[in-house]
C-alpha cells in the first residue's frame, strides 16, 4: 500500500500488450469492522484513521432518506462544495493522531512490546503483574512470565511466534528485564525469574519510539 499511496506513477500492464507507466492520481478509502484494518507504523505519514459513529445503527428512517437523496444532482452539489472549499492553511502532511490511529500503531508493535506496555499501564490480566504501586517489586518466574504472555496473546487475539527463549531475549534486549537467579517464598532453592518495578519499566519504555500518549 505504501507505494500505491505515495508513488506519482503507476505501471499499467494490459493483458497481451506491452506495459507502460502512467501518472497516478489514486486515493484510497478503506472501511472495515475489523479492529486492525491496516498496519500503521509509529512513524506513519500516510493514514488518517477515524471511527464512524454508530448512533444511526438500525435507524431505517434515516437511511431511507439518505438513499433517496443519492442522486446525480446531489453528487454534483457535493462536488461543487468540495471544489470550492478553502484549503488555506491546510497541510496534508499534518495527520491528526486520533485514538484509533494510536491504537493501530500499538497493534503494529512487536507482540512482546504490546504486552509490556499493558503491564506498564496497569492493564494486565495477571495479578502477579499488578503491583500496589509503581515502586512495588514485581517478581515472576520465567515460565510464569512467559505463560502470562501466551495467555495475553490468546485473550487479545494476537498472533506471536515467540517461544520462551525469544520472549526472554526480547525482554532483556529491548526492555532491560533480565533473568536472574532468585529465591522464592517457601522454596529452598533459587530458580530463574525476573524482578522489576513499573517505574523501571516505564522509564525504559520512555526511550522506545511509541505512539504519543500510549503510556498515559
Domain ranges of the chain: 2-99, 109-205
Show pLDDT as tens, one digit a residue, over the chain (216 residues). 888 888 889 888 888 888 999 999 888 899 998 877 888 988 888 899 999 898 999 999 999 999 999 999 999 999 999 999 999 999 988 998 888 998 899 889 999 999 999 999 999 989 999 999 999 999 999 999 999 999 999 998 898 999 999 999 999 999 999 988 887 777 777 888 999 999 999 999 999 888 877 887
Check if the beta carbon of residue 148 is closer than 8 Å to that of residue 126.
Answer: yes
Cell numbers at 175, concatenated:
526492555
CA dist 151 and 126 (Å) reads 9
The confidence score (pLDDT) of residue 6 equals 84
The confidence score (pLDDT) of residue 45 equals 87
Model-level pTM? Answer: 0.75
The confidence score (pLDDT) of residue 141 equals 92
Check if the beta carbon of residue 151 is closer than 8 Å to that of residue 125.
Answer: yes
Residues across the chain: 216
Q: What 3-state class would DSSP assign to 182?
A: strand
CA dist 174 and 208 (Å) reads 8
| Host H or E run for residue 4 | helix 2-6
The confidence score (pLDDT) of residue 180 equals 87
Provide CB contacts within 8 A for 83, sequence distance 6+: none
Amino acid at each position: 500500500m505504501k507505494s500505491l499511496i505515495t508513488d506519482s506513477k503507476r505501471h499499467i500492464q494490459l493483458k497481451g500488450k506491452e506495459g507502460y507507466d502512467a501518472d497516478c492520481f489514486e486515493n484510497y478509502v478503506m472501511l472495515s469492522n475489523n479492529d486492525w484494518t491496516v498496519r500503521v507504523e509509529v512513524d506513519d505519514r500516510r493514514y488518517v484513521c477515524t471511527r464512524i459513529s454508530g448512533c444511526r445503527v438500525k435507524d431505517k428512517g434515516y437511511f431511507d432518506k439518505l438513499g433517496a437523496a443519492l442522486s446525480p444532482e446531489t453528487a454534483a452539489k457535493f462536488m461543487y462544495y468540495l471544489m470550492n472549499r478553502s484549503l488555506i492553511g491546510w497541510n496534508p502532511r499534518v495527520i491528526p493522531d486520533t485514538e484509533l490511529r494510536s491504537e493501530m500503531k500499538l497493534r503494529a508493535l512487536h507482540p512482546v512490546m504490546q504486552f509490556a506496555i499493558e503491564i506498564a499501564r496497569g492493564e494486565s490480566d495477571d495479578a502477579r503483574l499488578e503491583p500496589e504501586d509503581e515502586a512495588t517489586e514485581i517478581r515472576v518466574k520465567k515460565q510464569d512470565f512467559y505463560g502470562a504472555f501466551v495467555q495475553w496473546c490468546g485473550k487479545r487475539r494476537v498472533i506471536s511466534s515467540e517461544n520462551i527463549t525469544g520472549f526472554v531475549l526480547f525482554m532483556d534486549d529491548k526492555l532491560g528485564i533480565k533473568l536472574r537467579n532468585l529465591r522464592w517464598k517457601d522454596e529452598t532453592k533459587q530458580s530463574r525469574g525476573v524482578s522489576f518495578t513499573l517505574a523501571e519499566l516505564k522509564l525504559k519504555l520512555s526511550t522506545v519510539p511509541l505512539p504519543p500518549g500510549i503510556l498515559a
